Amino acid sequence: MKDAYTNFDATGLAALVANGETTADELLNIALDRTADLNPALNAVVQVAEDTARKAIAKGLPEGPFHGVPFLLKDLGAEAVDFPTNNGSKLMAGMKWAYDSEIFLRLRKTGLSTFARTASPELGIGPVTESQVYGGPTRNPWNLNRTSGGSSGGSGAAVAAGIVPAAHGSDGGGSVRIPAASCGLVGFKPTRARLPDGPKSGEGWAGMAIDGFLTRSLRDTAALLDATAGPDLGAPYWAPPLRGSFQQAMETPPGRLRVRTSSHTLSGATVHPECAAAVDKTARLLADLGHEVEVFTPAADLAVEAMMQAWTKIVACGTALSVKTVLAGAPLDPGLIEGVTRGAIAYAETISGADYLAAVNEVHAFGRRMAQVFLDCDVLLTPTLAEPPAEVGRLKPDNEDFVAYRNGPGSVFEYSPFTAIFNASGQPAVSLPLHWSADDLPIGLHLAMAFGEDERLMSLAAQIEQAAPWAGQQKTLLERGGVSR
């Protein structure tokens, strides 16, 4: 089984367990062996809890759709009594939870065999994973000099390298889709509130953050979303109910769609030639599939930059709140947090309550402007990132000017100008691994639809996967042992 492990996605491994061809213990052994072999190069898997996983298997994993499949939780959110967390921070290293989050409870019911967490930037800030608490950067298995993305960068690296076939992530500004694009994976961000966020949290970053998954196959993403979708008790937001399921949507043709494409940012800036070429290639594919494809021209008053400035204020305040809550009145040792976090706290101190509410209002107003975009089209196609995965260290979180780090020259927003748009609007979006650069770096393609149209987006993604399957390209890395050394 060890030699065949990476030939299967999570759905495939679960079928082997169900048929008696392997066991949860055997699969866990393989996942742990691959962690020991690959993690020194990647720095992706943290907080290993083998004993917890063994006890869960011995007790009897639930007979769900992923019974016995090894799984990883992001080291941020997904609170679980049995899985302490660092939240990507020295300040919070080894934090223990007194309760299980609803997302974790739903994942556990699927029968997954969770055995560790995955590296995250401190408090989820940034499109790279280079936290001091892990002793160094998390690297991209396609090229160890490149980032695996963020903030779910550990999950992206672990899945791409074949340590596990699927892993948990979360997405407040692209944090599932960015590592998906960087690592050649599927990353689906559902409509706001499609997944639970309780019981402790009222909302993440003014409703912009949501959980998600990193997978190699689309069907794994669909099954994980089906297992976890739906509001939890007291949810402050409510997504339009699904008409069926994500898995059913994969079997349903999307119909002829009005596709609009952009190989520029929605602010008009150029993107890397490889990313522009990837959009053009995908546009031709969609036209060949029978869709109406035209170039998108953003309205002059879309004002993406104003939204990002508001996003930056909200995230700064959320970061400051997280640190303040942990300190509980104690003084802060600045050396226990990253420079970007120090900068976020300092910036938050300049933001009044009125400023914060104005920022929330701007984000929601932007969501209304984006809703208008989808009156005239069904799908917006762009690259996921403005360029291939960045070199390690380029966006290292040591800049104490939080506004400049997010929005200045050479900033996060220049690198990732598309993903946060759909956290602000709450609309569903997916990054698909449809292109690799000339030097074998993954380039994700980003597709978004109107609020609540998750199933139709899944239908389109399934049509694309069937027409232009990506599993073969992923397999080239797995056949090299999971890391391009």
Determine contact, residues 163/45, Cβ cutoff 8 Å. yes
Residue 485 has pLDDT above 80, yes or no: no
Does residue 71 lie within any of the structural domains?
A: yes
Average pLDDT over residues 246-254: 98
Say whether pTM exceeds 0.85. yes
Q: What gap in Å lies between CA 189 and CA 454, rounded to an integer?
A: 9
Q: What gap in Å lies between CA 474 and CA 476, rounded to an integer?
A: 5
Residue 38 has pLDDT above 90, yes or no: yes
Identify the three-state secondary structure at position 72.
strand
Q: What gap in Å lies between CA 6 and CA 309, rounded to an integer?
A: 42
Q: What gap in Å lies between CA 195 and CA 163, rounded to an integer?
A: 25
Does residue 485 lie within any of the structural domains?
A: no
Does residue 127 lie within any of the structural domains?
A: yes
Return the CATH number at 347: 3.90.1300.10
Does residue 157 lie within any of the structural domains?
A: yes
| pLDDT reported for residue 201 | 78
What's the structural domain count of the chain?
Answer: 1
Does residue 484 lie within any of the structural domains?
A: no
Residue 46 has pLDDT above 80, yes or no: yes
> To the nearest 5 percent, what fractions of the chain are helix, strand and coil?
40, 15, 45
Does residue 448 lie within any of the structural domains?
A: yes
Identify the residue whose tokens are 């947090």.
337
Domain that holds residue 57: 5-479
Amino acid letter, residue 195: L
Please report which confidence band the pLDDT of residue 420 belongs to, taking 50, 70 and 90 as the band edges: very high
| pLDDT reported for residue 12 | 98
Q: What would the DSSP string read from start to end of 94-151? A: TB--SS--HHHHHHHHTT-EEEEEE---GGG-SSS---GGGTS--EETTEEEEE--SS
Rounded to 5 degrees, φ, ψ at 436 are: -125, 140
| pLDDT reported for residue 189 | 98
| pLDDT reported for residue 479 | 96
Exposure string for 121-133, b = 16+ CB within 10 A, e = fewer: bbbbbbbbbbbbb
Does residue 355 lie within any of the structural domains?
A: yes
297 token code pair: 């021209």
Identify the three-state secondary structure at position 206.
coil
Average pLDDT over residues 39-63: 98
What is the β-pairing status of strands 143-147 and 139-140? antiparallel
pLDDT digits (tens, 9 = 90+) for 325-380: 999 999 999 999 999 999 999 999 999 999 999 999 999 999 999 999 999 999 99
Please report which confidence band the pLDDT of residue 247 belongs to, taking 50, 70 and 90 as the band edges: very high
| Catalytic residue ranges | 74, 151, 175
Number of helices followed by number of strands (H, E) in the chain: 17, 13
Q: What gap in Å lies between CA 357 and CA 365, rounded to an integer?
A: 12
Q: What gap in Å lies between CA 258 and CA 283, rounded to an integer?
A: 11
Other C-beta atoms closer than 10 Å to the C-beta of 207 total 22
Other C-beta atoms closer than 10 Å to the C-beta of 227 total 20
Rounded to 5 degrees, φ, ψ at 341 are: -65, -40
34 token code pair: 């691959």
pLDDT digits (tens, 9 = 90+) for 257-295: 999 999 999 999 999 999 999 999 999 999 999 999 999
Closest CA to 345 of 316, 369, 384, 374: 316
Average pLDDT over residues 46-61: 98
Identify the residue whose tokens are 């994980």.
224
C-alpha torsion 438→474→448→11, nearest 10: 180
pLDDT digits (tens, 9 = 90+) for 115-131: 999 999 999 999 999 99
H/E segment holding residue 236: none
pLDDT digits (tens, 9 = 90+) for 313-328: 999 999 999 999 999 9
Does residue 425 lie within any of the structural domains?
A: yes
C-alpha pair distances (Å), 110 with each of 34, 65, 66, 247: 23, 5, 5, 15
Q: What gap in Å lies between CA 210 and CA 195, rounded to an integer?
A: 7
- HSE (CB half, 13 Å, CA atoms) of 193? 18
